Amino acid sequence: MLTLHQEFFSQYAKVYRPLLNKLNAELEQYSLSNSQWTIMKLLKIEQVMTPAEIAHRQQVEKPSITKILQRLNEMGFIEVTPGEDKREKWIRLTDSGEAVCIEIMERLKLLYENLLEGIKEADLENAINLLMHVHENLSK
Amino acid sequence: MLTLHQEFFSQYAKVYRPLLNKLNAELEQYSLSNSQWTIMKLLKIEQVMTPAEIAHRQQVEKPSITKILQRLNEMGFIEVTPGEDKREKWIRLTDSGEAVCIEIMERLKLLYENLLEGIKEADLENAINLLMHVHENLSK
DNA sequence: CTTTTTAGTTAGTTAGGTTAATTAACTAAT
DNA sequence: ATTAGTTAATTAACCTAACTAACTAAAAAG
């Protein structure tokens, strides 16, 4: 049988595909994929980032980010300005990107509430801390 | 700011990429990708399954499963026998597949222990239950 | 017996990853 | 001022894993 540790990661993995499918269903209406959306969320919080910073935060290589940013740019959701260091590009959400971002966040908030409906606040906090712990251990 | 619900899914997502990278690094030595490995694990538990059952469990479409099974078959990790219903194929692990499966599970067990090191058992159980709860809510 | 459904495959497409190589810009040490 | 080395971003070529659409063969329903 599985140990508790194995059980945790097994459950973690089980949630992933159905959750992704739900997210993509919501995002489809905005012609966004999950990875595009993830970067928009990040920009919403950080305001301005360079592609290199985004790549580092997302733990993917820079060329992957280049492609996603190109598509977000075509859709008019981000704007690109040259940085002080002329090698850099500063990426930020446009007004339209910001608006879509807020709209999607509202929708997802409802989805998330449904998915966690009936969970006690203390348990939720506990699970968040556990995930943060795992995340930290992953980065060393 | 984010609600606790949003915070939870945000942390959930943050863990995914680095975890996947770690898993793939472990699996590389066996020339296995994560999605191939996921199906091997499933077969380890269920013993025999049809491609359609696997597709349903993994929440992906049948053609995706066909390809993965073809590769696992080439590598000699699974065997395929015709079902009673002649349309069906019964998929099971070969002895070699079973052996590799056990070996990988042992390695991952250590990884998982490291990632969850210092977590109290009660908190771990709690988080598992929470994930199960989310999984259930996702399927309705 | 015909029709419809189901299981699996094939073919073709797409998104999002990877590495390797390139250009441009910056930094530091002659 | 020149040179050597580094960093930011891009492009190209490739891979994996997903998708849909269209197909064959078998089973089930009428």
| A89-93/A78-82 β-pairing | antiparallel
- Nucleotide C11 C1' to residue B16 CA (A): 32
To the nearest whole percent, how much of chain A has pLDDT over 70?
A: 100
- Asked if the Cβ of residue A50 lies within 7 A of any atom of strand D, the reply is yes
pLDDT for residue B139: 82
Distance of C1' in C8 from CA in A9, Å? 31
Q: Is the CB of B35 under 7 A from strand D?
A: yes
Closest residue of chain B to A12, computed from CA coordinates: B131
Contact B8 A58 (CB under 8 A): no
**Would you list the DSSP string of A49-109?**
B-HHHHHHHHTS-HHHHHHHHHHHHHTTSEEEEE-SSTT-EEEEE-HHHHHHHHHHHHHHH
Give, as one character, the DSSP assignment of residue B31.
T
Locate tokens 């968040």: which residue? A128
Q: Map out the domains of chain B with their CATH numbers.
A: 4-138 (1.10.10.10)
Closest Cα of chain A to B86: distance in Å? 30
What stretches in chain A show pLDDT beneath 70? none
Is the distance between the Cβ of B129 and the closest atom of strand C smaller than 7 Å? no
pLDDT attached to residue B137: 94
Distance B36 CA to D14 C1' (A): 20
List chain B pLDDT tens, one digit each, 140 residues: 889 999 999 999 999 999 998 999 899 989 999 999 999 999 999 999 999 999 999 999 999 999 999 999 999 999 999 999 999 999 999 999 999 999 999 999 999 999 999 999 999 999 999 999 999 999 87
Q: Residues A121, B5: contact at Cβ < 8 Å?
A: no
Nearest to A102 by CA among A15, A41, A30, A39: A41
Nearest residue to A42 (alpha-carbon basis) of B5, B13, B19: B13
Q: Determine which of B4, B26, B39, B42 to mutate to test the interface with A (most A C-beta atoms within 10 Å).
A: B4
* Residue from the list A15, A108, A137 with its beta carbon closest to the beta carbon of B134: A15
Longest C-alpha distance within chain A, in Å? Answer: 57
Residues from chain A that touch B8, judged by Cβ atoms under 8 A, are 112, 116, 124, 127-128, 131
Residue A69 near residue A55 (C-beta atoms within 8 A):
no
What is the per-residue pLDDT for A70? 96
| Residue A78 identity | I
What is the rounded CA–CA span in Å between residue A61 and residue A68?
Answer: 12
A69 within 8 A of A78, measured Cβ to Cβ: yes
User: For A131, phi and psi rounded to 5 degrees?
Assistant: -65, -40
Structure token pair of residue A34 = 């999950």
Q: Which residues of B87-117 are buried (b: 16+ CB within 10 A; e: fewer)?
A: eebbbbbeeebeebbeebbeebeebbeebbe
Q: Helices in chain B by DSSP H: which ranges?
A: 4-28, 34-46, 51-58, 62-74, 95-115, 121-138
